[in-house]
Structure 1
Amino acid sequence: MHVTAIVAHPDDADIFCGGTLKKHAERGDDVTIVYMTRGEYGGFDTTEEEVAETRESEAEAAAEALDAEARFLDFRDGRITYSMENRLELVDVIRELRPDIILTHFRDDMHPDHRVTSRLVTDAYYMASLPLAQTDHEEWEPDNVYYFGKPTADEFDPEVFIDMSDQQEAKEEAILQHESQVEWLEEHGGVDAEFDGLVEGVRAQARTTGRTRGAEFAEGFVPLHKGTSEYLE
């Protein structure tokens, strides 16, 4: 099986689905994290290029902690837009990687990059199987898309839960590779106030989710197609 997470920013996969990715990697599945941007807006008094360089290096280290392959696209942080050109770029990425399942952002999210990424991935998933929608690679149809979301999102109500109690430590290790972002999110406050005490907050949320399923730690997802949760374990 091949599991691909398509996320807007370098730390998103680790925070929202890192335990699930690590669990699949430990099963022997191929795991890829596709980063839409290099997160160049997520920094202090420095240039976008310097922030992007730091965050790309951190993302590669985090992916390694999860036994995943890192792949970077060239969208611009805070400026991902919905267009046919961008949709077709993701169609070609899906066709090239040929994942069985895709993990990505839920549609209801404060961050505009998360919302647009969710829509682009959903529509690219549909188009990837169409033979007449021509790109550089042959058509491919993943089995399903699973959405992760912030606990503060009003509409996000997980239906599939992954017990990743044995992977929580690796998830936290991956998050801590984003050293610049641990500092940024804790200092930023305001719109990212839910991330005050980043690792502690992520751990608390995973414990809360796990408690509802009889697990120490768990991650929750909403599937695009219902009744096929056996693909995500």
Structure 2
Amino acid sequence: MTDQPAMLVVSAHAADFVWRASGAIASFVRQGGRAHVVCLTYGEKGESQGLWKQPGMTLETVKERRHEEATAAAAVLGAEIEFLDLGDYPIRATDGLYDTLVATMRRVRPDVILTHPAHDPYNLDHALVHEVVLRARMIAQAAGHDPGTRPIGAPQVFQFEPHQPEQCGFKPDLLLDVTEVFPLKRKAMEAMEGAQGHLVAYYDALGERRGVQARRNGGAGTITHAEAYQRVFPTVAGSLR
């Protein structure tokens, strides 16, 4: 056992955690925490456009390339990573998936969980993963489930920003300053260029826009980049300050 803070990131596809949460991951690790990323799929069918444009590409080759890219990105951030290779478009919520995630939660014992928002009409895989994570968290808390392992507590679940937040009902209640680690985020994003290189500039610019909003909402004037998150559960505090 260790007192080292732990973060669990559940990513539907192999690149989702990079675009949406790599600043939070790098910052958490830099502050002495341990980050564990679970990629349910490689995103080999629906989120590997750049690779499928290359001649002679096969499904297994796409998976291999995505594995290499995401592994390299996680290494940049200082995160552990594992791949479940469930197959995307669609992802299916099986008993095996729940068993795996519950076991992972009890092993990692996260203080915080990051995953997709509850709604995403453009990518129902993302919305499904949100529900799966909350159900797995619920099961992992239950004393009667697998009594040989210890239930987890009540880690906050943060929804990271979807690609088109206005269409997803995403209303951030946390703007996380990632200024110091944004060079690491950019390097991690660049590791994904083979499959989705067109997104690097998009999320680079989004980080700047969220940084402006962070300053306007009372953040330090030195903030240049931020990431947006929405909590699932209430935050407990001893005062309103």
Q: Please say whether Structure 1 and Structure 2 have the same fold, judged by a TM-score greater than 0.5.
A: yes
AA aligned opposite 2:207 = A
1:155-194 alignment runs, 5 A limit: 155-183=169-197, 186=198
- Unaligned runs of 5+ residues in structure 2 are 216-222
Runs of 4+ in 1 over 6 A off after TM superposition: none
- d(CA) in 1 for partners of 2:189, 2:154: 27
Q: Deviations over 1:63-83 (max 9, x none)?
A: 000011111113112221234
In structure 2, do the counterparts of structure 1 residues 81 and 227 end up closer, same or farther at CA, with 3 Å as the change threshold?
Answer: same
In the TM superposition, residue 37 of structure 1 has moved relative to its aligned partner by 0.9
2:28 to 18, 24, 28: 24
AA aligned opposite 2:17 = A
In structure 2, do the counterparts of structure 1 residues 20 and 127 end up closer, same or farther at CA, with 3 Å as the change threshold?
Answer: same
- d(CA) in 2 for partners of 1:212, 1:164: 13
1:198-217 alignment runs, 5 A limit: 198-214=199-215, 215-217=223-225
In structure 2, do the counterparts of structure 1 residues 39 and 26 end up closer, same or farther at CA, with 3 Å as the change threshold?
Answer: same
Match of 2:41 in 1: 37
- Whether the 8 Å CA contact 1:176–1:182 is kept in 2: the answer is no
In structure 2, do the counterparts of structure 1 residues 161 and 136 end up closer, same or farther at CA, with 3 Å as the change threshold?
Answer: farther
Match of 2:218 in 1: none
- Whether the 8 Å CA contact 1:92–1:136 is kept in 2: the answer is no
What TM-score results when the alignment is normalised by the length of structure 1? Answer: 0.86
Q: Deviations over 1:61-119 (max 9, x none)?
A: 10000011111113112221234443233212211221111100001212122111111
Computing the radius of gyration over CA atoms, which structure comes out larger, 1 or 2? 2
Query: How many residue pairs get matched?
Result: 216
- d(CA) in 1 for partners of 2:143, 2:85: 26
AA aligned opposite 1:222 = Q
Match of 2:220 in 1: none
- d(CA) in 2 for partners of 1:131, 1:222: 28
The yes-or-no answer on 1:99 pairing with 2:110 is yes
The yes-or-no answer on 1:113 pairing with 2:125 is yes
- d(CA) in 2 for partners of 1:135, 1:50: 41
Q: Percent identity?
A: 26
What TM-score results when the alignment is normalised by the length of structure 2? Answer: 0.84
In the TM superposition, residue 28 of structure 1 has moved relative to its aligned partner by 1.1
| Greater mean deviation of Cα atoms: 60-69 or 125-134 | 125-134
- Unaligned runs of 5+ residues in structure 1 are 187-197
- Whether the 8 Å CA contact 2:193–2:200 is kept in 1: the answer is no
- Whether the 8 Å CA contact 1:17–1:219 is kept in 2: the answer is yes
Provide the aligned C-alpha RMSD in A.
1.8
- d(CA) in 1 for partners of 2:12, 2:147: 22
- d(CA) in 2 for partners of 1:217, 1:228: 27
- d(CA) in 2 for partners of 1:204, 1:177: 17
Q: Deviations over 1:40-77 (max 9, x none)?
A: 21241521111111110111110000011111113112
The yes-or-no answer on 1:90 pairing with 2:91 is no
In structure 2, do the counterparts of structure 1 residues 63 and 142 end up closer, same or farther at CA, with 3 Å as the change threshold?
Answer: farther
1:13 to 17, 21, 25: 17
AA aligned opposite 1:173 = K
- Whether the 8 Å CA contact 2:173–2:229 is kept in 1: the answer is yes
